[in-house]
Structure 1
Amino acid sequence: MVATDGPSVIKLGIDDAMAGLVLSTEAHWNQTEADWRVFLHDGVVFGIRDGVRLVATAALLPYSGNNAWISMVLVSATHRRRGLATHLVDACLETARKNGLTSWLDATPDGVAVYEPLGFTPTLQLRRLKLVKSTQASLPAPSTATLDALRARDRRATGFDRTALLTAFAQRSGSRIVAAHGCIALVRDGRTARHIGPLFADNAAEALALVHAVARSENGPLLIDAVASQAAFLEGLTASGWTIERPFQRMRFGPATTAAEEMPFAVAGPEFG
């Protein structure tokens, strides 16, 4: 148990995956039970219960180079405006501090107002986009690529070693790593929509071509979390039917510990970085 001055903050275990999924589903997020198991197996997930019911969570997912991602900050509608999220984020930050970790997160506009006073500084911006598709795919899937190729490109773009995360994604039923003309991306299932990302490319035209190829080979809705500074890519997505759902602001607590060699076109998701 983590000591706090407020409600009892506990560490959750792998058996809490379904309870976490209830919270993220209530918030209309796209996570699956498998996503929750990543946080519970590879990270630290803090929670608050009301009796036996899990009513709030926050997760700290460590990466290499003394970095960690804070996410899954969720509070049930019945327990909001009681400071529960602040207590849980404080638990994440204290754990990160004890372990010498720089903390990162992707915040909604409302979240930015919460995290800036805590000492988080903004870095890049993201835009979540959605493509609503018919139920019929029209073309074969793009060529597949190896997990090693994706890992290498991901390391260049993030500065982190995320082998465990990318391996967990790639091993799921329905996941595929696709590539064409120097571009590479991962496509995986979500609760309500398939997710494209991370996506790496040498230029916007090639990134767009790969996304269009994926879209033509997929059934149902798609989500992508595009890097806002990749303006030509973002404009190409919206021109081809993708709609912006919400912005995210990437923020960092602590010193920068790595230097990226390239900028991704889309990330793994605001919960994963």
Structure 2
Amino acid sequence: MAAIEPIDIVELGVADAPAGLVLSTEAGWNQNEADWRFFLSHGIVFGVRDGDRLVASAALLPYWAGNAWISMVLVTPDFRRRGIATKLVDACLDVAKRRGLTAWLDATPAGATVYGPLGFEPTLQLRRLRLEKPQGANATRPLSAGNLDALATRDSRAMGFDRSTLLSAFVARPGSRIVSDERAMALIRDGRAARHIGPLLADRADQALGLVEAIVGSESGPWLIDAVHAQDAFLEGLVRAGWNIERPFQRMRFGAATALPAQLPFAVAGPEFG
């Protein structure tokens, strides 16, 4: 197909989850089908098709207090550089504007150059780190089961708005668990290719690092974590422990901030969820 003129944008449904997974897997992302089903059932997901094939997507996931997350902006390689991603993000922004929502996203460096001219402003930065873990790891210290209500409360303070619906959906999945260790708490869940740690909340960097150490010692990897760059002691501790930085993300906001976080997390739920 030589060109798409005009681009026919459609709204996707839950039945499109397998097709969305093909797109994110092709890009090497860690989302699984359960992630796609959450976006498609709780958010607004736009796409572009070439016949029966889904070739592009973008999602808007509304949260509480007038906030929403834009993510899953994907275009299959042979349809790139045609303005499709920009048009899909514009479709998400149109919905956000009509609903009076402040839109957020976590952009790759290349994406940030696209979103800046659209009106997105940079906020904090993230670093995605990966740890390969051999089978048969032994736990360094016992982990206590965490409480969903307590996690949702701390997450709300860290984000500035409530995400209990998202966290509840994560916890309900097979393989997910909330763990705590002294003053630190985190959610662990399955991804397509690696286990993911986040959000991770703690009072101090040493508490956050101790919890990560206990987590990776309690089961085999590989692991992914999206650390807040401003938590430099935590980030440096992860690198010393053998985690490798894979890529940066720039958090960006379109619209006025509705609330300020009371305390930054040490790691987030993921660039697709905030």
Alignment correspondent of 1:25: 25
In structure 1, the residue matched to 2:267 is 266
Counterpart CA distance in 2 for 1:164 and 1:6 is: 37
CA distance in 2, matches of 1:137, 1:231: 27
Mark the runs of 5 or more structure 2 residues left unpaired by the alignment. Answer: none
Q: Which residue in the other structure is 1:190 paired with?
A: 191
8 Å Cα contact 1:6/1:87 also seen in 2: no
1:113 and 1:7 mapped to 2: Cα distance?
22
Match of residue 156 from structure 1: 157
Alignment length (residue pairs) = 269
* In 2, Cα distance between equivalents of 1:6 and 1:201: 49
Cα-Cα RMSD:
0.9
TM-score, normalised to structure 1, is 0.97
CA drift at 1:137: 2.4
Identify the residue that residue 70 of structure 1 maps to in structure 2: 70
**Could you tell which deviates more after superposition, 141-150 or 204-213?**
141-150
Matched, 1:234 2:218: no
Q: 1:141, CA displacement in angstroms?
A: 5.6
Distance in 1 (alpha carbons) for counterparts of 2:137 and 2:40: 35
**How much does 1:78 deviate?**
1.5
Q: CA deviation at 1:259?
A: 1.4
Q: After the TM superposition, which of the residue ranges 74-83 and 233-242 deviates more from structure 2?
A: 74-83
| CA distance in 2 between partners of 1:7 and 1:120 (Å) | 23
Q: Percent identity?
A: 65
1:123 matches 2:123: yes
Aligned partner of 1:49 in structure 2 is 49
**How is 1:1-273 mapped onto 2 (pairs within 5 angstroms)?**
6-139=6-139, 142-273=143-274
AA in 1 matched with 2:122:
P
Describe the superposition over 1:150-200 as per-residue Cα deviations: whole angstroms up to 9, x where unpaired.
101001100111111000100000000000111100000000000000000
Report Cα offsets for 1:48-77 as digits up to 9, x if no partner.
000110000000000011000000000001
Superposed CA deviations along residues 87-110 of structure 1, whole A, max 9, x for unmatched, are 100000000000000000000000
What is the CA distance between 1:220 and its match in structure 2?
2.1
Determine helix, strand or coil for the equivalent of 2:74: strand
Amino acid at match of 2:189: R
Q: Indicate conservation of the 8 Å contact 1:141/1:214, yes or no.
A: no
Determine the C-alpha separation between the residues in 1 that align with 2:212 and 2:23: 30
SS in 2 for 1:174: coil
SS in 2 for 1:268: coil
Letter in structure 1 aligned against 2:26: E
TM-score w.r.t. length of structure 2: 0.97
Q: Structure 1 residue 6: deviation in Å?
A: 3.3
